[in-house]
Amino acid sequence: MRVSKQHVVYQMHRDHPAVASCRSGDTVIFETCDCFHDSVRSSTDLVSGVDFSRINPATGPLFVEGAEVGDLLKVDILSIRLESQGAIVSAPGLGRLADLIGKELTVIGEVSGDSIRILGREIPVRKMVGVIGTAPAGEAVPTGSPHDHGGNLDCTEIREGASLYLPVEVEGALLAMGDLHASMGDGEIMGAGLEIAGEVEVRVEVIKNRKLPTPFIETPDRVMTLASGKNMEEAADRAVRNMAEYLMQTTELSLEEAGMLLSMAGDLRVCQIVNPNMTMRMELDKRYLA
């Protein structure tokens, strides 16, 4: 099944009509625009010319049959295919160097195999999905904002081989995704990575009778709790507490012991610090779950 990028939303919203439906266990390909809705194609296309009402389009939503309120939606990232070029931008007021930037600049990167030619250098491709989420039960949330439903998490670990668990808060889950990056560092300090269009192939599965602190990522060797908040401290506290609660639910550890384990063996990392909410993640090697 393929979901065309002709079908995009700019909010995660319970009232959006589904543009496609699938069954639990199905494989689905999402065609995605870049975060600028494919409007930045050359170095002369500047931020000031971008239509900010069309920022961060997410392809979908997809209705998953059998997904009921209280379930989990497991999304396996099977593959990410990129177009041959992407763009990164800067502008006064944008990103963590906002007050120092004096002019607008757009740089195009050429993607070839596992490398990107940009800024006179070769940097490695680090494919990841920036925006991915389900519809929240309450008010609509712009696709540019992350929260417990997912959204603009901009987490470098949402990549090929990872499984992302999201909450089902409305019937069918209403999954949507977009905002691919050919490369992005933790933090996304300029407010952009190498923004690029492409395709994401995922397998979706409805998980019943299981509780996880979502959004939750599982890779072959690590588990991660993600949390978003108005600042890094709030997001970090929530990510840490979510992982501590997960450890208490899945091991024999007390809260105090879980905290000790995380303090010794866990890694608290930044996802992004540039969106309306900031996102942090707490990581732990699976060897400590035994």
Buried b / exposed e across 30-64, counting CB within 10 Å, b at 16+? bbbbbbbbbebeeeebebeebeeeebbbbbbbbbb
Count of all residues that appear for the chain in the document: 290
pTM of the model: 0.96
Tell me how far apart the alpha carbons of residues 237 and 242 are, in angstroms, rounded to a whole number. 8
Tell me how far apart the alpha carbons of residues 173 and 58 are, in angstroms, rounded to a whole number. 15
- Cα–Cα nearest to 149, from 82, 251, 60, 65: 60
How is domain 2-207 classified at the CATH fold level?
A: Jelly Rolls (2.60.120)
pLDDT digits (tens, 9 = 90+) for 222-242: 999 999 999 999 999 999 999
Tell me how far apart the alpha carbons of residues 94 and 239 are, in angstroms, rounded to a whole number. 26
How is domain 216-289 classified at the CATH fold level?
A: Endonuclease I-creI (3.10.28)
Question: Token pair of 75, please?
Answer: 């999304």
Please provide residue 27's backbone torsions phi and psi, each rounded to the nearest 5 degrees. -100, 135
Q: Which residues contact 209 (CB under 8 A, 6 or more apart)?
A: none
Name the residue ranges covered by the structural domains of the chain: 2-207, 216-289
Residue holding tokens 């607008």? Answer: 104
Tally the C-alpha atoms within 13 A of residue 23's C-alpha that lie toward its C-beta.
1
pLDDT digits (tens, 9 = 90+) for 6-56: 999 999 999 999 999 999 999 999 999 999 999 999 999 999 999 989 999
Give the CA distances from residue 203 to residues 33, 61, 186, 244, in Å, rounded to whole numbers and listed in that order: 20, 15, 25, 28
Please check the confidence at residue 290 and state whether its pLDDT lies above 90. no
Tell me how far apart the alpha carbons of residues 15 and 61 are, in angstroms, rounded to a whole number. 10
- Cα–Cα nearest to 215, from 163, 284, 285, 173: 163
- Average the pLDDT over 110-125 and give the result: 98
Average pLDDT across the chain, whole number: 97
